[in-house]
Structure 1
Amino acid sequence: MTQVEEHGRVPARRESPLSVAPVRIVVRYLSVLGERLLADTQVTGPAHSHIDLPWRVIRGYKLVRVENYAEVFQPVPGGIRMIYMAQKAAPVVVYHKNAEGNLIVPPQYVSGDLNATYHLHPLSGNPFPIIQAPPTDAGVFGTKSKSAQYVYDTLQLMRLPVDKQLLMRMNTAVRPFADPLAREALPTALPGGSTWPVYRAVVDRFSRAQWYDLGGGIWVKRTSQMTLLGRPLPMQPPELTPFRHRAEVVNHTQNAVSLFQFPRFGQAYKTIPSGTMISTTGLMADDQGRQWVALDSQLFISRWDLLLLD
């Protein structure tokens, strides 16, 4: 009778010490010259089980090969050796542009060690609003060059609406400028008491100063030395140049065309459909050089909205 039959149980199986003892493997991080770059790491696990190797990223170095590589735990004399080679990182090129795509300053180059983290920043002391920034302002230096772009709203001057009948009187002598961004005033002052027509106006977005174009390349910055005046409106148009024709009202972008009363050419009095046949009587130009055609109804239409038929 066997022992199983005699006692009714199976004796415990004795395991081999090799099947239960953990396997320890040393992982070393060395340069191609054999220099130790990081402290050794030891991994432990049951024999023949899968190894999760402790990969390391080392600043300024690139992993080029692994010696004594193993996928499962087994004795590895000398350990697993990860070999790295020193390598410079490619720079990150940063462009600072305006909305038109022009560079504000020369490209900036951000440099550092391979695998090191970099951070991007807009221009130092930047006075302009940023309208586009890189998707991320941080990253890791690699072997290939990267680029990033900041786009700024550099439009310093904004147009202001101006009444076409606006005048400006100089309360005292005022030295004008050639343009609103000029640093130095022109040598000849505008006499005190003189009155000038205003053709357009702008505001400096950053200083909030208002500038007025008085024509002929003369701009003045609004101060207490000057007063804005409304220009008296003439009640009758000037003598018209004879311009008697049959014409068709034509506008390729709108179905209706504006008609105006003299002298309010900035505000439509009524509209007529494109394609209407009309008769003209005279022609005049305003102080901005635009041509206006008088109709037999005493209203005016832009010369560009007419197709002459005779």
Structure 2
Amino acid sequence: MFEIDALRLLVTVAETGSFTKAAVRLNYTQSAVSRRIAALEGAAGGALFERLPRGVRLNPAGRTLHRHALEVLDRLARAERELTVLHAGQGGLMHLGAFATANISLVPTALRALLDARPDVEVVAVEGPTDTLMGRLADGALDLAVVSDYPYGLPSADGVTTSVLCEDELFVALPREHRLASAPVVDLRELRDEAWIQGAYGDRPTMLADACARAGFTPRKIIRIAEWAGKFGYAAAGLGVALVPSLAADAVPASLALRPLTDPSLRRTVHVALPATPLPAALKLRDLLRDAVT
């Protein structure tokens, strides 16, 4: 209903008390100011100024609109300032996503470095599986995500680019009293009789299923536990064994032993995913993530 330029003109006329002085300040002609104020008064449904022998002043309707005009212009000015620092990478809001084990050490380390370097950046962090994070990037809901190709491979998403961050080896977590807990390396065939603790991935083939098939067996039992704390608890109680990525090693309790496996394919690739037009702060975080894994 009201154009921004018209509201700015209203404020300037109110400040100067004169159409002529407002015209000089805004580099308009006096007649142009008169026409635009008349158009604004038409949109407002009545006069906004009292015409005095020398100049003008706001009437009650004008004071009402003037108050709102000041609020609108102030909000726009603040938005412009925030956008300036956002595009410069020095501040603003950034939405970050990561899968669970990346949030144990990798992402917090890089994020701490980002906030130390650029304290005016405000980060909103979410956690989720890779396919969900890639979808949110494509929808514009995230500015950067840390994703992986485990357990189903890396999905593609429109307008999203990915770059390899690191290779993440998968270990087997065994209770300390397990017969293989002190072995230098474990062959999957030695675990053919174990129950396996996995996330709630559904029925699609997983990296573990493929590796077991290459080793000549099918896991006798799969226990579905969604959260890592639960997986560790089940494994520590001797109810099964679990694949654990090296990124999660810092969170593994002392009651479990992590042992490497002989199958070289049991590793995942971790990626940084960005939208087509990334924020400068997101590019800075990408670089800090790379620093964190070197």
Interval containing the TM-score (normalised by the shorter chain): under 0.3
Higher share in helix: 2
TM-score, normalising length from structure 1? Answer: 0.24
User: Normalized against structure 2, the TM-score is what?
Assistant: 0.25
| Structure whose alpha-carbon radius of gyration is higher | 1
User: If each structure's strand is expressed as a fraction of its own residues, which one has the higher value?
Assistant: 1
Q: Which has the higher contact order (CA 8 A, sep 6+)?
A: 2
